[in-house]
Amino acid sequence: MKALSKLQMWTTPLWLVLMLGPVVYLLIGKPDVVSEWLDYTGTQGYGGVSLAVIMLGAGVTLSLMGQIGEQIDYLRFMPAKTEENKRVWWVSMLAAGPGWVILGAAKQMIGALIAFYLLTKLPDSAATEPVRQFVSVFSDMVPTWAALTLAVILVVISQIKINVTNAYSGSLAWTNAFTRITRYYPGRLVFVVFNVGLALALMESDMFAVLNKILGFYSNCAIAWVVVVATDIVVNKYLLELSPKKPEYRRGLLYAVNPVGTVSFVLAAGLAIAAYFGWLGAFLSSYSPLIAVVVAAVMTPLMCVLTQGRYYLRETDDGIATPRFMANGTPSDEQLLCASCDASFERPDVLYSKQRASIVCSLCRAVEPLAQ
């Protein structure tokens, strides 16, 4: 995470200049382009407002909701909220968490504006391809060779910033799921290679040519997942009080599958995908994102009530006397040695193992037999 943070910090200034430079040029040098863009009715000359068309577009846009969940990789390093820092804490949490969608929306608007500008110059061009978009504007600002160079640099930096983080987050997700279900840990490197290999396979199969369809399909899964998590936090934790208030991530204390989230997600995503492909009728095909939202919001508390919250935690006591958190809520930084892998971990990352009659890390406990 330190390396990722440094990568993001050092590449962001150049990325911002290359990203915003063309937009500033258009706003100053061609101010009419914004009003023309807002009045644009598409290549088919479609006019008016259609809720179905809006929802089809929203389905693609909402696929980015999954990125909000990935922000937890950064948010989990935030200090505990106290009376002294609560204002800054909330601003930071909202900006780096759900507030990410504001930046995402701004980037999408920039892409749409530049795509429109490219269409006005080259009607038959591939206006949705980022490198072509920025080459078109850069070429009005600098010589062609420099425009191409700047556009390539921008795309390469963007891909590095995105894919390095995704390789980390994806490998972490695969590792957690695989280890909890199989109780076997093959190593993070296996899932880094798997995740990157999957991404390369999709890229080489020309995924970009059908990107809208892929994002429209995937958004149903992303929406279902985020709404399940959000509903569990708001309703199950604080209204029904059946879900543990403190999030638990140590694999040894968790069930491999919690039907509250699993059933709710599968049903919400499954029905939304069925609607997306028209299996529930032509009318509902445009409204699959709404189906994912409604089903996830209803099923999550329903499953929690039916199971009475029994499958959130396999155990509630980690078996260690010293507290996980200090008085102000900050996780304890006490270093404890894992008796299995001989590595040191902070107090929140360890628990007691009956099998070894000693302290072990979360991962080593996860691969022990369930009876232990």
Mean per-residue pLDDT for 202-209? 76
Question: Are 223 and 298 contained in the same domain?
Answer: yes
Question: Are 160 and 249 contained in the same domain?
Answer: no
Please report the pLDDT score of residue 2 as a whole number.
79
Domain hosting 222: range is: 214-315
Question: Are 160 and 57 contained in the same domain?
Answer: yes
Q: How many domains does the chain have?
A: 3
- State which of 205, 239, 256 marks the end of a domain: 205
Question: Are 137 and 5 contained in the same domain?
Answer: yes
Give the tens place of pLDDT for each residue, 80-99.
788 888 899 898 888 877 78
Please report the pLDDT score of residue 293 as a whole number.
92
Report percent pLDDT > 70 for the chain.
94
- State which of 205, 235, 260 marks the end of a domain: 205
Question: Are 295 and 322 contained in the same domain?
Answer: no
Question: Are 291 and 331 contained in the same domain?
Answer: no
Question: Are 20 and 140 contained in the same domain?
Answer: yes
- Whole-model pTM: value is 0.75
Please report the pLDDT score of residue 265 as a whole number.
96
Question: Are 68 and 114 contained in the same domain?
Answer: yes
The string of DSSP letters for 161-209 reads: HHHHHHHHHHHHHHHHHHHHHHS----HHHHHHHHHHHHHHHHHTTGGG
- State which of 298, 315, 332 marks the end of a domain: 315
Number of helices (H), then strands (E), belonging to the chain: the values are: 14, 4
Question: Are 298 and 331 contained in the same domain?
Answer: no
Q: Alpha carbon 77 to chain centroid distance? A: 17
**pLDDT at position 168 over 60:** yes
**pLDDT at position 127 over 80:** no
**pLDDT at position 283 over 70:** yes
d(CA 331, CA 276): 44
Q: Which amino acid makes up residue 292?
A: A
Give the tens place of pLDDT for each residue, 181-196.
888 888 888 998 998 8
**pLDDT at position 142 over 80:** yes
